[in-house]
Structure 1
Amino acid sequence: MTPEELSDFALELPSATDDEAFGPGATVFKVEGKVFAILQDATAEGPAQVTLKCEPDLALHLRDQYPAVGPGYHVNKRHWNTVLLDSTVPASELREMVEHSYDRVVSGLPKAVRERLRLQRG
């Protein structure tokens, strides 16, 4: 999955927005003002990467399953994973990771907001 494809997918989720809150080269995806993904551009040192919120046990499982998945970069390493967009993680798995991150963030929102987003998502 390319960074552009990941960005397009993330923005399809209800109420998802993006900005460069941390400066150029890092696109931050939010739902209701809460971060659910951080997409960093490729650098001379490596490919683009995305940091996603994740349930702690699943985070460990994904790190074991894919060499491109590691502890979150500059975030709580227990609750976040960083995934290198080097084509070693299948696109379908990346989409699931993005949706899981979004769902984790939505679950912490007020009930009325959760219900509205659930209805928008279908």
Structure 2
Amino acid sequence: MNQHTVHEYLMKKPLVMITQPFGQDVDVYKVNHKMFATLAEGKEGQTDDEGNLVWWLNLKCDPDEAQALRDIFPSVIPGYHMNKRLWNTVILDGTVPQGEIERMIDNSFDLVVANMPEKDRKAIALHL
């Protein structure tokens, strides 16, 4: 997945909005004002084999699963500028399968929604 397909997938989630509290270079994806993902250019203008900029996706994650994903995929690292225990950064360099990235996005969204008050969870569930 590249930044465009990741963005499209993130925006398909119900009640998602984008903010840029960290500057114009970092899109923060929120559901009900709670962050579940960030998308930004990789640090220091990192490029892939074809010269395209590599983007980084931060996602919330269960701590045990976060470590397991880091062990499986070299392009999954502790969350850049995030709580390293609860967040992973996925380097979108083409080495992590699309289905796995989508699953990680779904899990991040679900973790954030699960910590919301019941009223908010029900409102979001209406859109699923």
Fold conserved between structures, TM > 0.5: yes
Matches within 5 A, 1:71-110: 71-110=78-117
Q: Structure 1 regions of 5+ residues with no counterpart?
A: none
SS of the residue 1:102 aligns to: helix
Cα distance in 1 for residues equivalent to 2:45 and 2:106: 29
Calculate the TM-score normalised by the size of structure 2. 0.90
Runs of at least 4 residues off by over 6 Å: none
After superposition, the C-alpha distances for 1:45-66 in whole angstroms (9 at most, x for unaligned) are 3521000000001001100110
Determine the structure 1 residue equivalent to 2:50: none
Question: Could you tell me the percent identity over the aligned residues?
Answer: 39
Q: Structure 2 regions of 5+ residues with no counterpart?
A: 48-53
SS of the residue 1:112 aligns to: helix
SS of the residue 1:60 aligns to: helix
After superposition, the C-alpha distances for 1:1-24 in whole angstroms (9 at most, x for unaligned) are 010110111011010111222111
After superposition, the C-alpha distances for 1:29-85 in whole angstroms (9 at most, x for unaligned) are 000001000101245235210000000010011001100001001111000000100
Determine the structure 1 residue equivalent to 2:34: 34
Matches within 5 A, 1:35-74: 35-42=35-42, 43-46=44-47, 47-74=54-81
Determine the structure 1 residue equivalent to 2:3: 3
